[in-house]
Amino acid sequence: MTVAPVPSLDWRGDGSDQVAWVVEGAGRRIIHCGDTMWHGDWWRIAREHGPFDVAFVPVNGGIARFEGYEANVPVTMTPEQAVEAAAVLGAATVCAVHYGLFNNPPAYVEQPDIERRFRRAAEARGVTVILAGDGEPVAVPSARR
């Protein structure tokens, strides 16, 4: 198994280095993007590490209003941005992460109708969807394009 850090963009902007993880082994390759925002390194990650069997991407598109963070723009990827990131990465399957767990208005507000929007965007892009519950194992299919 190999594990490689790749660029990620944390919404807090606190100067700490943020990474996503590319994990490869047993004939499978995944990327876990954590709590990232949309950024311009997706294409480089795809060129250097893709394609992926599964991209684990945040989909909650949270709006944060606490600790000096107040803007009416998502601080993590929306369902549609998450699918676009997976498509750019060449992922055959996209797994939603970081949703349904943190909604705490008015401090942190998730996007509405996440699952439906995620499925619709993935269908439009021809990407298979995984919606796993918190703590539920995810079988990683080998279906790289």
Count of beta carbons in the 10 Å neighbourhood of residue 27: 9
Structure tokens at 96: 């939603």
Dihedral sign for Cα atoms in the order 90, 92, 95, 96: positive
Range of the domain at 31: 2-130
| Residue 144 resides in a domain | no
Whether 135 and 86 have beta carbons less than 8 Å apart is answered as: no
Q: What angle do CA 142, 36, 121 make, to 5 degrees?
A: 60
- List, for residues 16-51, the tens digit of each pLDDT value: 678 999 999 999 999 999 889 999 999 999 999 999
Local structure of 71: helix, strand or coil: coil
Residues 6+ apart with CB under 8 A from 104: none
| Residue 145 resides in a domain | no
**0.85 exceeded by pTM:** yes
| Residue 138 resides in a domain | no
Rounded distance, CA 63 to CA 69, Å?
A: 9
Rounded distance, CA 18 to CA 114, Å?
A: 25
Number of domains in the chain: 1
| Residue 103 resides in a domain | yes
Q: How far is CA 28 from the centre of its chain?
A: 18
The amino acid present at 66, given as its one-letter code, is F
**How would you write the pLDDT of the chain (145 residues) with one tens digit per residue?**
999 999 998 877 666 678 999 999 999 999 999 889 999 999 999 999 999 999 999 999 999 888 777 888 999 999 999 999 999 999 999 999 989 888 889 988 999 999 999 999 999 999 999 999 888 999 888 755 4
| Residue 141 resides in a domain | no
Instruction: Give the domain CATH number at 70.
Output: 3.60.15.10
| Residue 119 resides in a domain | yes
